[in-house]
Amino acid sequence: MAKKIKQNDFLLDIHTEPFPARFVPPALDQLKLNAAKWLAGKIDHGDIAVSGTLRHLVLTVKGVAAKGNDKTERFKGPKVGAPAPALEGFARKYGLDPAALIPDNGVLYAEVHTKGESASALFSAMIPELMKSLQFPKFMTWEESGFKFGRPLRAITAMLGDKVVPVTVAGVKSGRSVHGHPVLAKQPVLLKDPAKHAAVLRQGLVIADPAERREYLLKCLAQATKSTGGVTEPDEALIDETVFMVEHPVPVLGKLRDAHMVLPAELLKLVMKKQLKFFPVVTKDGLLHPFFVGVRDGLSSGNELVREGYQRVLEARFNDAAFFVGRDSASTLASKLPQLERVTYQKALGSMAQKAARVESIAAWIGERLRQTAHVDEQAVARAAKLVYADLVTDVVKEFPELQGHMGGVYARKDGESEKVALAVEQFYFPVAAKSPAPTTAEGAVVSLSGKLDSLAGCFAAGMIPTGSADPYALRRQALGAVRIVLEKQLPLDLDAAIAHAISLQPVAVPEPAKLAAQLSEFVWGRAQSLFEEMNFAVDEVRSIQSGALSNLPNAFLRLAALRAVRRDPAFEPLAAAFKRASNILKQAKISDSAPPERALLRDQADYDLYDALVAAEGSANDRIVRGDFEGGLKTLVSVKPHLDQFFEKVMVMVDDEALKKQRLALLSKLVRAFRRVADLSEIQASAS
Amino acid sequence: MTFQEIVLELQDFWSKQGCAVVQPYDLEKGAGTFNPATFFGALTSAPARYAYIEPCRRPADGRYGENPNRLGKYYQFQVIMKPVPAGITDTYQKSLKAIGLDPKKHDLRWIEDDWESPTLGASGVGWEVWLDGMEITQFTYFQQMGSMPLSPVSVELTYGLERIAMYLQNKNSVYDLDYGGGLTYGDLHKPQERELSRYSFETADVALLSRHFNEWEAEGVRLAGFGDPIPAYDCVVRASHLFNTLEARGAISVTERAHYIGRIRNLARKVMELYIEKNTPKEPAAAK
């Protein structure tokens, strides 16, 4: 019999004191996920959706059935034929007659049918559990029951259709009142229809939907800056934060005073963004414009007072910043260096002054290694290396640690250091993020790399080695930075040797320096490996060039590119298989290295053909590889394939004739070594076809 | 509105909310939280409702009277309530209106700022309240004292009086504030800022301060032994201020710093435990 089922929409609005912006998006995700999990199988329903602000977490469930699903449960009882009292006792427990027990495989079961609960009862039960299930970055308590939540609960609006779903959480009783903006909304509105919830909030100056609020904010920002000819600086993080810091964004445009525009632009922007959550206005070219937009929560009228307030606060902050810059500028960077002796880097690794000395020494070492191959101004490197940490004792960097390096560059220019030196100091911490740029100059690259190598070597020497996901000193980031610098600046530098050198400079006793260096090289290689994989090189390709990769990373990249290009050749994979066979034979014969084969001591035509082809290919490949043409070199080597196939087809390597066996092994060994200059093909996995 | 009128208005407002308006404590301290009304008030389950102005000394913040926004000695207006009354954030907004800051005409924002006092082993969750971008109040739900969870929880409101007054009087320097009684804030405070900055940064006797720190710490432990937390707590307050002065004077290295803080915290914990033990009604022993 078809029964018309009455459906209702469910609404839950958890109204709290203001959450920190970062709490809200994860809470909304969990609210949706956990509600779906909780309801699954218990009751039929339609779409589940969430929205919210810093004061509201809102959940809606469409098309909820009037009753929960009926349920049948089976409970295992005594064996068939058990004594009557036992049967009766078991049956009574489930309100059944012993005759109603169901035999199955020699055991009796009680089958209990439960009628579905009313939707309202189900949701009453769900709300407290759902609220308890939300994980916040930090919990708090505020009232007698000790309920833990991200912020104190103010009200719960819970409705199913036009009825309130009764529930009490942390002393707050659910109801139908909806609370708009805490300052601007009039009295709470009594909601009759859950579908009107968003509209009621909107009237109370709360835009509940984050996507809508974001769009509105962006429109507001664009409008506000129109008259200035500039735009707000694109800053996704600040936009995301603002979306969850205000319920009804209203832009207020303010002006910077000319007197402040002489301060470093990065400092001005940081003061605006970090200290006041204002959006700096920039020109189309990204230059700072003397304007900002503050986002007010609430009304778009009467903003003159708010603008004055914003400007006054900004003024005070800029005055502070100017005061710091003035104090910092009273003496040169170089004259601040002795102060680094009083700044501890790491307890085991000494002061920042000691670290600076090591960085200077590593930079000089690298400069010397690159003297023949790269154009590096060693004097500029030495000067920059001396100054890189001086800005750590400036007032501006103490106040804004994010400006380390940047302020060093600003002050270096003020002190009359050369632009090369100033830029190297400014970009010392580059790349600051996975995708952000590496230092632009060779000098900057060398100094920045030296800093990273020293940090890595120091932490490894002091036993602060990252394990699993724990990496408190961000060594993975440092290693990735080092790899990127060497690759992007095309430095033909032996990183293995540089690592060993950096370890030798550390002020801690290292019992087995070679072992530690190998461990650190492997760690750094791990970053190179994932970087290459991010560039879409296959795992087996990266593995095949691993040998010797760190001793020349730019070449390692070229070898990879060559491999990928040549791999497209249909002859390549069979060659790789034949190559693997050759390597295995050598492995079994325990040959790692051998004297070169002698043609005269070989015997069959297939021997001679392979020998001749290999000698020719090797010579020509070598010319190409020396010129950096790894692809050409590899292609030339691949041309021996038919001869290698013939060789394996026609002759046996492991023959009884010891002298001949030795020569054939030597021939294979020559082949393997020739290829390994580009890649170890035995690592190549046949692609599934 | 003069500086003193703001204080009077706040006292009046919170008095009407059922708070006892108590007086500043008579020892040097870095924050209103050190006033026993708050420190002891937050500890037990007994209700607490207090409001008071508290002079605070932050030796390291002294600027010889030359910085218009920073002071080595200034005032906080503090409110503590336990249990937390319903709608406390609304009540707070009303208090702003009482001192002439109508939230409807300004941008009032609640910015996450969790408070922590390492020397008291205390921490709380809450906000800085921004009025048009300016921080005017620290609003905190205490969660722990002496590293112990508090129940029931207290709420603490700390008004930054000088900033509020500068805003209301449209002054760019704290020293230009109209204090009341025909005086400026500068008349009352500038000489003291100059001389106290010199004391904190230049002339304070490090050996004497270090010795006093050790002595007051030892005295605190000794007094706690007699089971009287109140005089022992005075030792905590004194040691804490001595530490602040030593630090401003540049006499404490980074490693020593953690050690000093640990010593104050240990003493503070001892005092707290003693106070709780003494002030928690004993359950009658269950009949066997």
Residues of B in contact with A140 (CB under 8 A): 125, 141, 143, 153
Which CATH fold topology does B3-200 show? BirA Bifunctional Protein; domain 2 (3.30.930)
A322 touches chain B (CB under 8 A): no
Residues of A in contact with B143 (CB under 8 A): 140-141
Residues of B in contact with A299 (CB under 8 A): 104
- The pLDDT, as a whole number, for residue B82 is 96
Q: How far B220 CA sits from the closest chain A CA (Å)?
A: 32
Residue A10: exposure state from Cβ atoms within 10 A (0-12, 13-18, ≥19): buried
| Percentage helix, strand, coil for chain B under 3-state DSSP, each rounded to 5 | 45, 25, 30
* Amino acid at position B86, single letter: A
Contacts 24+ apart (CB under 8 A), A145-148: A145/A170, A145/A171, A146/B151, A147/A171
Contact A224, A280 (CB under 8 A): no
pLDDT, tens digit, 9 for 90 and up, residues A456-467:
999 999 999 998
Residue of B nearest to A278 (CA): B133
Out of B67, B93, B106, the one facing A305 most closely (by C-beta) is B106
Contact A672, A582 (CB under 8 A): yes
Residues of B in contact with A17 (CB under 8 A): 89, 110
A302 touches chain B (CB under 8 A): yes
Residues of B in contact with A313 (CB under 8 A): 132-134
Whether residue A68 is predicted with pLDDT greater than 70 in this model: the reply is yes
How far is A416 from A424, CA to CA, in rounded Å?
A: 14
Least confident of A212-216, A461-465, A589-593: A589-593
Residues of B in contact with A179 (CB under 8 A): none
Q: Hey, are the CB atoms on B132 and A310 less than 8 Å from each other?
A: yes
pLDDT, tens digit, 9 for 90 and up, residues A120-144:
999 999 999 999 999 999 999 999 9
Q: Hey, are the CB atoms on A182 and B89 less than 8 Å from each other?
A: yes
Domain B205-279 is classified in which CATH homologous superfamily?
Class II aaRS and biotin synthetases; domain 2 (1.20.58.180)
Residues of chain B with pLDDT under 70: 254-255, 283-288
Out of A296, A314, A319, the one facing B107 most closely (by C-beta) is A296
Contact A213, A51 (CB under 8 A): no
With b for 16 or more beta-carbon neighbours within 10 A and e for fewer, the A141-172 pattern comes to bbbeeebebbbbbbbbbbbbbeebbebebbeb
Residues of A in contact with B106 (CB under 8 A): 305-306, 309
Interface of A with B in 13-72 (CB under 8 A): 17-18, 20-22, 54
User: Residue A370 to residues A1, A376, A394, A494, B97: CA-CA distances in angstroms?
Assistant: 87, 7, 33, 10, 69
Out of A18, A299, A310, the one facing B133 most closely (by C-beta) is A310
Q: Is B76 helix (H, G, I), strand (E, B) or coil?
A: strand
Residue of B nearest to A315 (CA): B172
Residues of B in contact with A188 (CB under 8 A): none
Among residues B130, B116, B147, which one has the least CA distance to residue B33?
B116
Whether residue A563 is predicted with pLDDT greater than 70 in this model: the reply is yes
Mean pLDDT of chain A: 93
Percent above pLDDT 70 for chain A: 99
pLDDT, tens digit, 9 for 90 and up, residues A326-346:
989 999 999 999 999 988 888
Contact A462, A508 (CB under 8 A): yes
Residue of A nearest to B83 (CA): A143
A297 touches chain B (CB under 8 A): yes
Residues of A in contact with B110 (CB under 8 A): 17-18, 54
- Kindly state the average pLDDT of the residues A425-439: 94
Residue of B nearest to A272 (CA): B133
Out of B104, B125, B152, the one facing A144 most closely (by C-beta) is B152
Residues of A in contact with B87 (CB under 8 A): 154
Out of B127, B143, B167, the one facing A18 most closely (by C-beta) is B127
Residue of B nearest to A172 (CA): B86
User: Residue B145 to residues A493, B43, B44: CA-CA distances in angstroms?
Assistant: 56, 7, 11
Whether residue A2 is predicted with pLDDT greater than 70 in this model: the reply is no
Residues of A in contact with B155 (CB under 8 A): 142
B101 touches chain A (CB under 8 A): no
Q: Hey, are the CB atoms on A140 and B141 less than 8 Å from each other?
A: yes
Residues of B in contact with A348 (CB under 8 A): none
B107 touches chain A (CB under 8 A): yes
Backbone angles phi, psi at A288, to 5 degrees: -65, 130
Q: Hey, are the CB atoms on B153 and A141 less than 8 Å from each other?
A: yes
Residue ranges of the domains in chain B?
3-200, 205-279
Residues of B in contact with A152 (CB under 8 A): 84, 141
Residue A184's pLDDT band (cuts 50, 70, 90) = confident
B277 touches chain A (CB under 8 A): no
B67 touches chain A (CB under 8 A): yes
Q: Hey, are the CB atoms on A309 and B83 less than 8 Å from each other?
A: no
- The pLDDT, as a whole number, for residue B288 is 45
Pick the CATH number of A71-114 from 3.40.190, 2.60.120, 3.40.720, 3.30.70: 3.30.70
pTM (two decimals): 0.80
Q: Hey, are the CB atoms on A142 and B155 less than 8 Å from each other?
A: yes
Residues of B in contact with A138 (CB under 8 A): 114, 125
Backbone angles phi, psi at A341, to 5 degrees: -65, -25
Q: Hey, are the CB atoms on A323 and B67 less than 8 Å from each other?
A: yes
- Chosen for mutation from A145, A148, A149, A183 (greatest number of chain B CBs closer than 10 Å) is A183
A184 touches chain B (CB under 8 A): yes
Cβ atoms within 10 Å of A514's Cβ, excluding its own: 10
Residues of A in contact with B254 (CB under 8 A): 344
Whether residue A679 is predicted with pLDDT greater than 70 in this model: the reply is yes
Q: How far B164 CA sits from the closest chain A CA (Å)?
A: 12
Q: Does domain A557-683 have CATH number 1.10.730?
A: yes
- Kindly state the average pLDDT of the residues A547-558: 94
Residue A198: exposure state from Cβ atoms within 10 A (0-12, 13-18, ≥19): buried
Angle between helices A630-638 and A658-676 (to 10 degrees): 150
Out of A151, A313, A319, the one facing B134 most closely (by C-beta) is A313
Out of A140, A144, A294, the one facing B143 most closely (by C-beta) is A140
Whether residue A594 is predicted with pLDDT greater than 80 in this model: the reply is no
Residue ranges of the domains in chain A?
7-68+119-203, 71-114, 210-329, 346-535, 557-683
Which is more confident, A188 or A592?
A188
Least confident of A1-15, A116-130, A139-153: A1-15
Q: Hey, are the CB atoms on B107 and A252 less than 8 Å from each other?
A: yes
- The pLDDT, as a whole number, for residue A5 is 56
- The pLDDT, as a whole number, for residue B285 is 56
B89 touches chain A (CB under 8 A): yes
A187 touches chain B (CB under 8 A): no
The sign one gets for the Cα dihedral A361, A366, A368, A369 is: positive
How far from each other are the two terminal CA atoms of chain A, in whole angstroms?
55
A615 touches chain B (CB under 8 A): no
Q: What angle do CA A664, A670, A673 make, to 5 degrees?
A: 140
Which of the 8 DSSP states describes residue B286? P
pLDDT, tens digit, 9 for 90 and up, residues A387-411:
999 999 998 998 889 999 999 999 9
Contact A63, A9 (CB under 8 A): yes
Residue A121: partners with Cβ closer than 8 Å, 6 or more residues away = A68
Percent above pLDDT 90 for chain A: 75
Residue of A nearest to B142 (CA): A142
B167 touches chain A (CB under 8 A): yes
Q: Hey, are the CB atoms on B108 and A313 less than 8 Å from each other?
A: no
Instruction: Tell me whether the CATH fold assigned to B3-200 matches the one assigned to B205-279.
Output: no
- The pLDDT, as a whole number, for residue B287 is 47
